[in-house]
Structure formats: C-alpha cells, structure tokens
Amino acid sequence: MQEKLNLLKEKMATIWDLSMIGALMGWDQQTYMPPKGAEERGEQMATLSRLVHEMATSDEMGKLLDELVPYAQTLDPDSDDARLIKLAKREYDKQTRVPAEKVAEYARVTTMAQGAWVQARSESNFGLFQPHLERIVELRREYASYFAPYDHVYDPLLDDFEPGLKTAEVQQIFARLRPQQVELIQAIASRPQVDDSFLHLKYDDKKQWDFGVEVATRFGYDWQAGRQDRSAHPFTTSFGIRDVRITTRVIEDQLPSALFGTMHETGHALYQQGIDWKYRRSVLGGAASLAVHESQSRMWENLVGRSRAFWRFFYPRLQEYFPQQLGNVSLEAFYKAINKVEPSFIRVEADEATYNLHIMLRLELEIALMEGSLEVKHLPEAWNTRMKEYLGIIPPNDSLGVLQDIHWSGGMIGYFPTYALGNLISVQLWEKIQQDIPNLEEQIERGEFSALLGWLREKIHRHGSKYEPQELVEKVTGSKIDPQPYIRYLNTKYRDIYGF
C-alpha cells in the first residue's frame, strides 16, 4: 500500500508542479506580458489546464484513490498521509462529478459573461449583463446538484472556497454580526467627521514604494524567496514555498492605497512562505482556505498596520519620507485619518467598520439567487434596498452598485463570504496572540514582529492545507469561527477614535 501511496504522491507532485507553472504564467500576464502576447498565452494556458484536468481525473487516479481511501481509515486521522489521501479524494470528486461538457460550457459562459460585465459596468447598464448572470446562476445550481444530497443548495459552492463550512454556519455568524455592526456605524455617523484630506496630497511614487518595502521587510517577508512588482490590481501568488511574489499599485494622490495594499499582500505572502517545506509539491502545501488566508492579510493590514502601536514606530519614518505632506500632521491626526469610517458604495474601498456589511449584502443575494427566491432581473433593486438598510446610502447607478465586482461574471458565487470570515478569524487569532505574547503591543511599538510571525508560523502557516478552516480555528483559539471578538475589537477601536 506504501507503494500505491507513493504513486499517488508522485502523480500529485506532477499536478502540483503544473499548477505552479500556471501561476507563473498568470503572474507574468498581469505584470510584464506585452499586450499582443495574450492570444498565444491563452492557448498555452488552455493546454496546461487540459493536461492538469486529464491527470487529475484519470481512471488510474480514481483506482488509486479507491484503494487508498479505505487504507487511510486505518491510519491516525491526524497523520499527514491520512489528510493527504482525504484531500486528494476531495479534489478528485470535485473534478470528476461534473461532466466534462458542463465544465466546458461553464468556461465558455463565464468568458462571455466577463466581456459583457466589463461593458455593462462601463455603461452602467445591468441589462447587458443580466442574461449572462441568469445562465451563470442556472449553471451554478446545476453544479450544486452534482453534489447532492446537501443541506443547502449554496453548500457545494461555499465548500469550493471554505472546505467543510456550511451555509447555515455562515448565516448564523452573520446574523449575530449584522445588527451590531449596523448599530456601530449609526453611532459613528452621529459624531463629527475625521479629516483625512492630507492623505490625498501628491506622494512621490518611488518613495511610497520604498516605504512599503521597508515595512514588508520589517514584517519578515523573505526577499530571497519572493519579490514585489507592479500590477493594475495588487495580488499575491506563489510558484512554490520559496517563490512567493506580491504586487502593488501606487497611486500618487492616494497614500493609503499602496501603503495598506502592500501590508495586505505581505500578510498573504507570509502565510505562503511559512508553509512547512515537507508539504511542498503536495496537496497539503496550500492554504487552509480563502478565509484563513484573508485572516492573515487583514491581520497585518488592519490589526497591525492600522494600529497606534505600529505608527508610533513607523510614523516618524513616514514623516522622513514625506516631510512636506506630513511634517505638520500629528501622529494622532494621522492615526484617525487612516481609520476614518464613512459608508461608501465600493466594497474594496470600504473601511473596517463598514466592510463586512458589503459582504453580508452579497451573501444574502447569492443565497436568494441560488434558492430561487430572487430573480436576477430584480437584483439591482434588491441590492439598493439592502445598501439603504445597512449603510444608509443608495448607489446613484449600477456601476457603483450591483455591477462593481468581477466575481459573479466569473461564476464565483460563494467567494464573497470568505472576505468577512477572514476579518472575523483575524481578531479571534489576535485575542489569542495577545494572551500568548503579553507584551505584543510594546514589541510592535519597537518595530519588532518576529514573535508575532513566529506565533503565526507555528499555529497557522506551517500546517498548509492539512486542516479545514473551522477545525484549524478551533484548534488554535478553542472555538469555531465567532463574530464576537471582531465586534469587541470594532467597538473598542471606534469608541476611542470617535469618542462615544
């Protein structure tokens, strides 16, 4: 049986290598590829995907797993081998249950839909996108049906991003979160506004870049195992555990953009760089889930990067970079500005206090679409109603509303909740870290992050994708994903800033 297991590992290593190669192609496409290279690159991507799919769904793979799954049940369920077989089986099922012609149709439909979405958004014309989204919703419901029986039609979609998590769990979490966040925002709205105009002066591109590099270096990002480049939308990607790259976008009159973007991507990258080397080239060498990934990026961006302690150390440095713009701005004024709360239309620009509400709105709409209780044609109306209810504002057009995100056009229904769950997990971990490292704040004030990173490495990073997200969070914090710590965090932080 050991021989069969080795064969499985070998096959998975090949698939892994090809996925990493695909990631390199994607990185190049978004950073350096000349425009005319797109067509041939597309053909090459298709060839690679086809080969990976053939390998991952081969009869040989199926037979191997048929023999290994019962064998796994004889092993310690927490052993690497048992987990590896379980994950391999999971992947195999995901890839084989859906008929090939459906996979191909989905690829065609979403490719078309993305083009239509770009146009619809630029013209703020939902009608152009509507038929595409209708077909996508149908296909996603069909997709779910291949994984029946399920508790909820949304479960199979969610499971693609958050292994093991159920719709009911997410709904419960959000039901507890929503009223408290809405209440908080209303309290803030009644207080005087914070001035953040100085964040929108002209900040030299190169200096912004250099400051970001300094921060990432301090955080512990290993530049010998990664690099930073520019791209239109910031992202993190990896071609192995020791080649984890980040990108950033510098906007000269928006200091927060590159600043927090770099911290965010560095958070993702630290996770990837911290995965145990022994898991490389295997299905255990990924991350636990998107939400856990997001908990890392949001922790470094918000819990560290938007804290007073952090800026006690870094603000004098930032002032050295930008004496003209910030020389006369106090630390306190700067701290308040980067934490300004303001209900706004666009999710990716939202502050910590309002962000999750953007997500809840999307989750509710996605579930309603999947359940069939909401028709696509009524989506803009449903969007605006909820915006009014949660954030008190109504988008003036659909570009600033229902058409703002790319996700649905790519068929990614089930993805949005991971953003909010990441926020929640980040603070759950943070409370535990504060217990384990009592002088954490003092360390941060001295620009020291090695104990924090060490904790994350030990508790989260090194495990790769061995544990499911709920399992990992419980293992580390003692409870499953829980909104209470996040609520506590927001209340403490904003009562202080807004004085109520």
Give the binding range for a second copy (CB under 8 A) out of 10-18, 198-206, 250-258, 352-360: 10-18
| Residue 21 contacts a second copy per CB under 8 A | yes
Q: What three-state secondary structure class fits 236? A: strand
Q: Which of 2, 190, 224, 373 binds a second copy (CB under 8 A)?
A: 224
- Smallest separation (angstroms) from a second copy to the CB of 24: 6
- Smallest separation (angstroms) from a second copy to the CB of 107: 17
Give the binding range for a second copy (CB under 8 A) out of 80-88, 204-212, 222-230, 437-445: 222-230
- Smallest separation (angstroms) from a second copy to the CB of 457: 16
| Residue 225 contacts a second copy per CB under 8 A | yes
Give the binding range for a second copy (CB under 8 A) out of 12-20, 324-332, 383-391, 426-434: 12-20
CA distance 413 to 158: 8
CA distance 445 to 267: 19
What lies within 8 Å, CB to CB, of 394 at 6+ separation is 384, 387, 388
- Report the site for a second copy in 239-268 (rule: CB under 8 A): 239-243, 245
For residues 241 and 288, which CB has a smaller minimum distance to a second copy in the complex?
A: 241
| Angular region, 220: left φ>0, alpha ψ -120 to 50, beta rest | left
| Residue 333 contacts a second copy per CB under 8 A | no
Give the binding range for a second copy (CB under 8 A) out of 77-85, 226-234, 308-316, 323-331: 226-234
> Which alpha helices (H) appear in 343-499, and where do they start and end?
352-371, 379-391, 417-436, 440-445, 450-459, 469-477, 484-498
- The residue with tokens 């759950």 is 428
User: Does the annotation mark 265 as catalytic?
Assistant: yes
Report residue 233 as tokens.
């939308």
CA distance 267 to 354: 21
For residues 34 and 327, which CB has a smaller minimum distance to a second copy in the complex?
A: 34
List 142, 162, 183, 265, catalytic entry: 265
Cα torsion at 484, 439, 450, 297 (round to 10°)?
20
The one-letter amino acid at 111:
T
CA distance 140 to 98: 11
> Which alpha helices (H) appear in 274-345, and where do they start and end?
290-298, 308-321, 323-326, 331-337
For residues 281 and 493, which CB has a smaller minimum distance to a second copy in the complex?
A: 281
Which helix H or strand E contains 228, and what residues bound it? Answer: strand 228-230
294 is in an annotated binding site: yes
CA distance 444 to 311: 9
What lies within 8 Å, CB to CB, of 224 at 6+ separation is none
- Smallest separation (angstroms) from a second copy to the CB of 37: 3
Instruction: Tell me the per-residue interface mask from 24 to 63 with a second copy, x by CB under 8 A, - otherwise.
Output: xx--x---xxxxxx-xxx-xx--xx--x------------
What are the DSSP calls for 294-311, one per residue?
HHHHHIIIIIITTSHHHH
Neighbouring C-beta atoms of residue 465, cutoff 10 Å: 22
For residues 236 and 356, which CB has a smaller minimum distance to a second copy in the complex?
A: 236
CA distance 59 to 306: 51
| Residue 271 contacts a second copy per CB under 8 A | no
The packing angle between helices 38-56 and 80-96, to 10°, is 110
Kindly state the number of chain residues that form the binding site for a second copy, as judged by CB under 8 A.
38
Q: Which of 4, 7, 11, 20 binds a second copy (CB under 8 A)?
A: 20
| Residue 366 contacts a second copy per CB under 8 A | no
What lies within 8 Å, CB to CB, of 117 at 6+ separation is 129, 132, 403, 406, 408, 409
For residues 273 and 423, which CB has a smaller minimum distance to a second copy in the complex?
A: 273
- Smallest separation (angstroms) from a second copy to the CB of 33: 7
| Residue 101 contacts a second copy per CB under 8 A | no
For residues 52 and 68, which CB has a smaller minimum distance to a second copy in the complex?
A: 52
Neighbouring C-beta atoms of residue 65, cutoff 10 Å: 19
For residues 45 and 437, which CB has a smaller minimum distance to a second copy in the complex?
A: 45
Q: Which of 7, 11, 14, 97 binds a second copy (CB under 8 A)?
A: 14
Q: Which of 226, 286, 343, 395 binds a second copy (CB under 8 A)?
A: 226
CA 468 to chain centre: 16
- Smallest separation (angstroms) from a second copy to the CB of 178: 43
Report residue 369 as tokens.
């679409």
| Residue 17 contacts a second copy per CB under 8 A | yes
Find the radius of gyration of the CA atoms of the chain: 23
- Smallest separation (angstroms) from a second copy to the CB of 282: 12
- Smallest separation (angstroms) from a second copy to the CB of 29: 10
Could you give the C-alpha distances from 24 to 18, 27, 240, 244, 418, in angstroms and in order?
10, 5, 10, 10, 24
233 is in an annotated binding site: no
Write out the catalytic residue numbers.
265
Query: What residues form the annotated binding site for Zn(2+)?
Result: 264, 268, 294
Contacting residues toward a second copy, per CB under 8 A: 13-14, 17-18, 20-21, 24-25, 28, 32-37, 39-41, 43-44, 47-48, 51, 222-227, 229, 239-243, 245, 280-281
Query: What residues form the annotated binding site?
Result: 264, 268, 294
